[in-house]
Amino acid sequence: MLSKSQARVFFLGGTGLFSAIFLALSLDSMRQIPKLTRQDQLTDQVVRGKKIWEDNNCMGCHTLFGEGAYYAPELTQVVARRGAPWIKLFLDDPQKMFPGQRKMVRYGFSDQQKDDIIAFLTWCGGVNLQGFPAKPPLRDLMRPTATTASADLAGQPEIFRTICVACHSVGGVGGVVGPALDEVHKRKTREEMLAWISDPQGLKPGTAMPKIEMSVERRIEIVDYLLGLARTPATAAPVQPARPAVDPKDFE
C-alpha cells in the first residue's frame, strides 16, 4: 500500500507523463494538418464553393466529413463516385437525373457556381481522413461481372466515360444502378438504343434513367461503341468479384 508521499509522487508523475504525451500528440497532429488537408490546394474557387455550400445550408440534408444531417447522401467522396460531369448535370436539375425520386431543390446555380461547388467537393475528397468514410462491407459483392475482355477505356466516348458509367458498367468497370451494357447489343437493335437514349421517360415512364440532353451525333457515338462490344473477345471465364473481409455473423 502506498504512503501519502508515494501516492502524491505517483499522481504527479503520472499526470505529468500523460500530459506530455497528450501535448506531443497534439503538436504532431497540428504539424500534419496542412499536408493532410491539402491546404496548398485551397484555391479561390474552392473557397467560393465552400461559401455556396454554407450559404445554401447543404449540411441541413447532407453530411461532409461525417458531419451534418443524414437525410441525403454523404458527399465526402461524391466526386470519386460520380464524376464532375455527372454532378454538374445533377446540380442543374436533380429531379431530371432521378425522376420522381430526389427531393433536392433546384437551386438554379450558374455554370460558375456549379464549377465552384465541384471544386470544393473535389478538394474535400482529397483530404486524408485516415480511412473515412469506410468502404461498404458488401461493395465488392455488388461489382458487375465482366463479360468482355476489358472496359476498352480508350475507345469509350467521352460522355459515356464521364456520365454513363456512373450507373452502367462495361467490362466490370462502372456503376451498378443500371444494367451492365456488355451484351446490350444482343437485346437491342441500333434503332431501339437510339430511341431509348433519346427519351427513356417517353418510352418507359418512371424508369430510373434520366433524359440527358445530347446531340444526335453523341447518341450515335454511344450506340456505335456499344454495338462494337460485340467484336470484343469474351473473357475465358466470368470475373468473380472478390469477397469482402467480413464475418457473416456480423449480419445475423
Residues 109, 151, single domain; the answer is no
Cell of 250: 456480423
Residues 145, 122, single domain; the answer is no
Distance CA 222, CA 217 (A): 9
Residues 107, 173, single domain; the answer is no
Q: Express each pLDDT in 26-57 by its tens digit.
A: 999 889 888 888 888 899 999 999 999 999 99
| pLDDT at 12 exceeding the cut of 60 | yes
Q: Express each pLDDT in 156-205 by its tens digit.
A: 898 898 889 888 888 888 888 889 998 999 999 999 999 999 999 899 88
Q: Which of 93, 159, 119, 95 is nearest to 38 (CA)?
A: 119
pTM value is 0.67
Q: Express each pLDDT in 63-74 by its tens digit.
A: 999 899 988 989
**Dihedral of CA 146/97/110/216: which sign?**
positive
- Domain assignment present for residue 34? The answer is no
Percent of the chain, pLDDT > 90? 42
| pLDDT at 148 exceeding the cut of 80 | no
Residues 152, 197, single domain; the answer is yes
Percent of the chain, pLDDT > 70? 83
Q: Which of 209, 24, 28 is nearest to 101 (CA)?
A: 209
Residue 52: predicted pLDDT: 97
Residues facing residue 68 across a β-bridge: 63
Distance CA 50, CA 68 (A): 14
Helices (H) and strands (E) in the chain, counts: 11, 4
Domain final residue, candidates 126, 159, 190: 126
* Beta strands, E only, the chain: 63-64, 67-68, 169-170, 173-174
Residue 237: predicted pLDDT: 42
Residue 51 vs residue 141, higher pLDDT: 51
| pLDDT at 16 exceeding the cut of 70 | yes
Residues 48, 119, single domain; the answer is yes
- Domain assignment present for residue 89? The answer is yes
Distance CA 121, CA 52 (A): 11
Residues 115, 90, single domain; the answer is yes
Residues 113, 152, single domain; the answer is no
Domain at 153, CATH number: 2.60.40.420
How high is the mean pLDDT of the chain? 83
Residue 154: predicted pLDDT: 61
Asked if residue 211 lies in contact with residue 201, where contact means CB atoms within 8 angstroms, the answer is yes
| pLDDT at 242 exceeding the cut of 50 | no
Residues 122, 145, single domain; the answer is no
Domain at 48, CATH number: 1.10.760.10
- Domain assignment present for residue 83? The answer is yes
Residues 75, 102, single domain; the answer is yes
2-11, 96-105, 204-213, 222-231: least confidently modelled range: 96-105
- Domain assignment present for residue 252? The answer is no
Residues 188, 121, single domain; the answer is no
- Domain assignment present for residue 109? The answer is yes
190-199, 204-213, 242-251: least confidently modelled range: 242-251
Asked if residue 109 lies in contact with residue 91, where contact means CB atoms within 8 angstroms, the answer is yes
Residues 223, 144, single domain; the answer is yes
Q: pLDDT band at residue 241, thresholds of 50, 70 and 90? A: very low
Find the helix or strand (DSSP H, E) in which 29 lies: helix 4-36
Quote the domain boundaries for residue 216: 140-231
Residues facing residue 174 across a β-bridge: 169
Helix/strand/coil for 14: helix
- Domain assignment present for residue 74? The answer is yes
- Domain assignment present for residue 132? The answer is no
Residues 102, 144, single domain; the answer is no
Helix/strand/coil for 174: strand
Domain count, the chain: 2
76-80, 98-102, 153-157: least confidently modelled range: 98-102
| pLDDT at 220 exceeding the cut of 80 | yes
Give the Å distances, CA to CA, from 12 to 7, 17, 24, 89, 202: 8, 8, 18, 61, 76
Q: Express each pLDDT in 119-132 by its tens digit.
A: 999 999 999 888 87
- Domain assignment present for residue 220? The answer is yes
